[in-house]
Amino acid sequence: MADTLNAARVRVPCSTSNLGSGYDTIGLALNRYLEASFEPGPTGLKIFREGSLARAEYDDADDLVARSFASGLRSMSLEVGGTLRLTSDIPIGKGLGSSAAAILAGSDLALAAGGRGRDDAGVFGTAYEHEGHGDNLAPCLYGGLRAVLPGATGPLPIELALSADLGFAYAAPAAAIETKDARSALPELVGHDLAVRSLARATALVRGLASADRELIKIGVEDELHVPHRLPMIPGAYNAIGAGYDAGAWAITISGAGSGLIALCDPSDSEEVAEAMRQVFCNGTYDPDCPGFAATPDFEGLTRLSV
């Protein structure tokens, strides 16, 4: 019996990243969640999964929550023993930071099970070493709209202003995309003129998100660094984007590395935009692996829950 451990439970939001010109820098936490709970028990780790995790095809050895949880316990010289229960409504491999949420959940769950307080800076640093996508990790951990900057001693997450007058809509096809495959589609070098245009657009994006200025958002969501190379990898993306604009979207781009799309719009149009895009991806039918939903920002980030 690993009797030095405590029961613990944490919740982590998903995140959409890039938002067009904020490539590899900007991310926003949204209201879809991974919840992980631990109950102490005999040596070894039993894992039970529900929701999107139950539909994912991977072995226990590849479970990112379990791996980061076990690694965290070992770093405290604690024996792994008990039951891990995981439930999630975050689509897997579809651009909502499911890997980042899993690593953060396991890392903080280990601290809680070991009787430690939160160590957000330490958890972020360790997760960044393993996952490398600070634009997902920062909003998942801290909530809200975040940018990750190249600080003097490592990645520096900062909070950005976000207008309450913005709505968000998400939809994805049944097909998932591996981040490594999406990255392999990008050119190794870009021209000076393109780099300058990208900087200008990122400036517009930050200002537009803070003010809900529709024109600035349109400019800021435009991108030449990654979107043109990844969009052809997403089946039905062009038609889904057209349907989203017809339903009232201000701007639409790839969520993270895909395969999902994220639309920015008036909050009153979020559900209609999401459903319009989902209908295209799902060919007018219902498919649990073909999600679409109106989303709202999550400002809490990783949260410890009562057990």
CATH of the domain at 265: 3.30.70.890
Q: Which amino acid type is present at position 112? A: A
Does the residue 307 lie in any domain? no
Q: What is the pLDDT of residues 178-198, one digit of tens each?
A: 888 888 999 999 999 999 999
Regarding whether 151 and 57 lie in a shared domain, the answer is yes
User: Does the residue 306 lie in any domain?
Assistant: no
Question: 49 with 95, same domain?
Answer: yes
Same domain membership, residue 181 and residue 155: no
Task: Please check whether residues 58 and 193 belong to one and the same domain.
Answer: no
What CATH number corresponds to the domain at position 156?
A: 3.30.230.10
- Cα–Cα–Cα angle for 260, 262, 265, rounded to 5 degrees: 155
CA distances from 239 to 196, 244, 289 (A): 30, 9, 19
Whether 301 maps to a domain, the answer reads no
Domain boundary among 101, 130, 161: 161
Instruction: Compute how many other C-beta atoms are within 10 angstroms of the C-beta atom of residue 145.
Output: 26
Nearest to 81 by CA among 52, 105, 45, 48: 45
**Whole-number pLDDT of residue 180:** 85
Do 202 and 239 lie in one domain? The reply is yes
Q: Is residue 141 located within the same domain as residue 196?
A: no
> Which residue blocks in 118-264 are alpha helix, DSSP H?
120-131, 134-142, 179-184, 192-211, 214-221, 227-230, 237-246
- Looking at the structure, tell me whether residues 16 and 47 fall in a common domain: yes
Report pLDDT for 1: 43
Averaged in consecutive runs of 10 residues, what is the pLDDT profile of the chain (307 residues)?
81 99 98 98 93 81 93 95 97 96 98 97 94 94 98 94 99 90 91 97 99 98 96 96 99 97 99 98 85 98 97
At which of 161, 194, 217 does a domain end?
161
On whether both 157 and 174 belong to a single domain, the answer is: no
Residue 305 lies in a domain: no
Percent of the chain with pLDDT over 90: 87
State residue 136's pLDDT score: 98
Alpha-carbon span 159 to 165, nearest angstrom: 18
142 belongs to a structural domain: yes
Same structural domain for residues 13 and 116?
Answer: yes
Same domain, residue pair 156 and 179: no
Tell me how far apart the terminal alpha carbons of the chain are, to the nearest angstrom: 20
Q: Which of 161, 183, 213 is the last residue of a domain?
A: 161
Residue 247 falls inside a structural domain: yes
Q: Are residues 147 and 183 in the same domain?
A: no
d(CA 168, CA 136): 17
DSSP string covering 30-75: EEEEEEEEEEEEEEEEEEEEEEHHHHS---GGG-HHHHHHHHHHHH
Give the domain range for residue 197: 167-295
Q: What is the pLDDT of residues 268-278, one digit of tens each?
A: 999 999 999 99
Look up tokens 């990008």; give the residue. 186
Give the number of domains in the chain.
Answer: 2
Judge whether 3 lies within some domain: no
> Are residues 178 and 149 located together in one domain of the fold?
no
User: Which one-letter DSSP state was computed for residue 91?
Assistant: P
How many Cβ atoms from other residues are within 10 Å of residue 2's Cβ? 17
Residue 105 lies in a domain: yes
Phi, psi of 62 (to 5 degrees): -100, 0
